[in-house]
Amino acid sequence: MSRTYNIALIEPSEIVAEGIIALLHKTGKNIQVTHFFEFSTFSYKQSVLNFQALLINPLSILNLETEWNKFIEKNTDIIRIALIYNYLSSHHSTHFHHVFYLNQPISDLARMLTETEPSRLKTENKETLSKREKEILRYLSQGKSIKEIADLVHLSPFTVLTHRKNISSKTGIKTLAGLTVYSISIGLISIDEMSE
Amino acid sequence: MYLKKNIELNDNLFEIIELNPYVLFVFEHLGYIDEPKNLTVKNFCKKNKLDERLFLSFLNIYNGNSDIPPVKAQKKHLPVIVQFLKHSHNYYKNEKYPYINNLLNELNKKVKLKEISLLKKFFEAYKSEVIEHLDYEENNVFPYIEFLIKSKQNNIFSTKFSIKDYQEHHSDIEEKLSDLKNLLIHHLSVGTNASLKRQIIFNLYELEYDLHAHSIIEDKILIPIISSIEKSNEPNL
């Protein structure tokens, strides 16, 4: 189990980058992180350093779509994870195998980074729900509004809405009634807790 | 689903049905159930006095090809379209929905899990919503079209209803049907009742296919014809 994972982090904020590196170190997994502030310096080094996974803030590739697409084409075996502070449009999420939100537990990120091979792209990938998504799904099934949930979990309504979209894309279920049936089936809520 | 082949006038109906049996809905909803079908589209139309362009559009839509050339906005098409829609409604209300409902009742009796009884309730609520929508069309849209068919020009505005009132709904209904399918396929366990589950899933797919084609016929054929008739009757200000 002592395999070393060589990963690249592209993140313009030093505070965020240092925080992630420190937390990943604490997971006990052998993850070596090389931090880049910009995409251009990273792509120059990629061929030499041979990273297995890339955690990137999509803001770093703003207006660099051509370079980014070339990189994806050449490096099909590298796991690409988007690092998101709060919101990501669905257009962007198709470029990534995973999306990691800053408010998710670091163990989620460690799991994404240490996959042995890239899974299918995010939009096609039916992963299990994260802890946060389950929490939000539970409140939704109880009939709480996005605004009420945002207050309860101390997130913006926009972020809650993004979680709601991700829950639907992972489960394939869009309507509230359908999500409630799903919540019951996985034991997330009991019949008594259900919304009318 | 199925071939998106563009059906043409000289294609043989026998072959079209062989490739995609769902086009049989077109014949049933038009009321041509037992008529011989080993003919070209052109000859079938000639024999049954059907407008070629309109019939071809129905066939193509039910063959998964909704990219059809516009049908001429002529009043003579309206009785055929209304008849088609009425037959479809009758089939949904008296056959398809009750049939799926029975299968779900049976599943609920056999699998004593709360999520299955909840799924049954979900279906029932969805079914009521669809039936309400179909009733609305029968009570408001169809009488309005029948009024248009009979009316002479210029007295159309004596009715309060207009086709603009009608262009809503649909998408929510489609999402619920898709959820029902996905819950059964991906998330709900039914123990030893696989065959029952499969029957429900296949019936939901069939219903979804038919409803989708039905709404395309309304949006791409019926509404443009009505709008055009309404426009031609607008007083020139």
Residue A90: give its domain's CATH number.
3.40.50.2300
Evaluate whether B174 touches B95 at the Cβ level (below 8 Å): no
Please name the residues in contact with B74: beta carbons below 8 A apart, sequence gap of 6 or more. B225
**The most confident of A62-71, A164-173, B82-91, B169-178, by mean pLDDT:** B82-91
- A91, A48: one domain: yes
Whether A177 sits inside 8 A of B122 (CB atoms) is yes
Min Cα separation A142/chain B (Å): 14
β pairing state of A79-84 and A31-36? unpaired
pTM, entire model: 0.68
- A86, A50: one domain: yes
Last-in-domain residue among A124, A141, A158: A124
**The most confident of A92-106, A122-136, B127-141, by mean pLDDT:** B127-141
Min Cα separation A170/chain B (Å): 11
**Cα separation of A167 and A178, whole Å?**
12
Please check the confidence at residue B96 and state whether its pLDDT lies above 50: yes
- A155, A102: one domain: no
Give the pair of three-digit tokens for residue B196: 């029952």
| Total domains, chain A | 2
Per-residue pLDDT of B57-74, as tens digits, reads: 999 999 988 778 888 888
Last-in-domain residue among A94, A124, A154: A124
Whether B182 sits inside 8 A of A178 (CB atoms) is yes
If you average pLDDT over residues B85-93, what whole number do you get?
A: 97
Kindly write down the DSSP assignment for every residue of B93-157, as one continuous string: IIIIHHHHHHHHHHHHHHS--HHHHHHHHHHHHHHHHHHHHHHHIIIIIHHHHHHHHHPPTT-GG
- A93, A38: one domain: yes
Give the pair of three-digit tokens for residue A66: 């051509």
- A85, A172: one domain: no
- A160, A96: one domain: no
Min Cα separation B65/chain A (Å): 25
Give the per-residue pLDDT at A121. Answer: 45
Given the structure tokens 């170190």, which residue do they identify? Answer: A25
Structural domain boundaries enclosing A189: 131-193
Give the pair of three-digit tokens for residue B81: 């379209």
Q: Which of B114, B179, B187 sits opposite A175 (nearest CB)?
A: B179
* Cβ-Cβ contacts under 8 Å, A185 against chain B: 113, 115, 183, 187-188
Q: Three-state SS across A83-125?
A: EECCCCCHHHHCCCCEEEECCCCHHHHHHHHCCCCCCCCHHHC
- A164, A179: one domain: yes
Q: Which of B113, B172, B183 sits opposite A182 (nearest CB)?
A: B183
- A22, A108: one domain: yes
Give the pair of three-digit tokens for residue A94: 């198709």
A79-84 β-sheet, strand order = A31-36, A5-10, A53-56, A79-84, A98-101
- A83, A29: one domain: yes
Q: Which helix (H) or strand (E) is A147 found in, with range? A: helix A146-153
**ipTM score of the complex?**
0.81
What is the percentage of chain A residues whose pLDDT exceeds 90? 39
What's chain A's average pLDDT?
83
| A127 pLDDT tier (thresholds 50, 70, 90) | low
| B55 pLDDT tier (thresholds 50, 70, 90) | very high
Give the per-residue pLDDT at A156. Answer: 93
3-state class of B214 per DSSP?
helix
Please check the confidence at residue B124 and state whether its pLDDT lies above 90: yes
| A102 near B CB under 8 A | no
* Cβ-Cβ contacts under 8 Å, A193 against chain B: none
Provide the Cα torsion A65, A68, A69, A75; round to 10°. 180
- Let me know if B75 is exposed, middle or buried by CB neighbors in 10 A (0-12, 13-18, 19+): middle
Please check the confidence at residue B9 and state whether its pLDDT lies above 90: yes
Per-residue pLDDT of A16-47, as tens digits, reads: 999 999 999 888 888 889 999 988 888 777 66
Q: Which of B113, B114, B176 sits opposite A175 (nearest CB)?
A: B176
Give the pair of three-digit tokens for residue B33: 């159930």
Whether A172 sits inside 8 A of B182 (CB atoms) is yes
Evaluate whether A153 touches A160 at the Cβ level (below 8 Å): yes
Min Cα separation B14/chain A (Å): 37
- Among chain A residues, the shortest Cα distance to B185 is held by A172
* Cβ-Cβ contacts under 8 Å, A173 against chain B: 179, 182-183, 187
**Cα separation of A104 and B115, whole Å?**
29
Q: What are phi and psi of A31, to 5 degrees?
A: -110, 120
3-state class of A5 per DSSP?
strand
* Cβ-Cβ contacts under 8 Å, A181 against chain B: 115, 118-119, 122, 183, 188
Asked which of A143-147, B13-17, B227-231 is least confident by mean pLDDT, the reply is B227-231
Please check the confidence at residue B197 and state whether its pLDDT lies above 90: yes
Asked which of A148-152, A161-165, B3-7, B118-122 is least confident by mean pLDDT, the reply is B3-7
Whether A171 sits inside 8 A of B187 (CB atoms) is yes
Q: At what angle do helices B142-150 and B78-91 cross, to 10 degrees?
A: 160
- A84, A179: one domain: no
**Cα separation of A115 and A127, whole Å?**
13
Last-in-domain residue among A89, A107, A124: A124
Give the per-residue pLDDT at B1. Answer: 46
Q: Which of A174, A184, A191 sits opposite B179 (nearest CB)?
A: A174
Give the pair of three-digit tokens for residue B15: 């072959």
> In the A/B pair of chains, how many CB contacts fall below 8 A?
50
CATH number of the domain enclosing A165: 1.10.10.10
Q: Which helix (H) or strand (E) is A53 found in, with range? A: strand A53-56
Q: Which of B118, B172, B178 sits opposite A184 (nearest CB)?
A: B118
- A74, A113: one domain: yes
Min Cα separation B175/chain A (Å): 7
Say which residue, A139 or A102, is predicted with more confidence.
Answer: A139
If you average pLDDT over residues B175-196, what whole number do you get?
A: 92
Give the pair of three-digit tokens for residue A181: 């049936």
- A94, A137: one domain: no
Min Cα separation B96/chain A (Å): 21
Per-residue pLDDT of A85-103, as tens digits, reads: 865 444 455 578 888 888 7
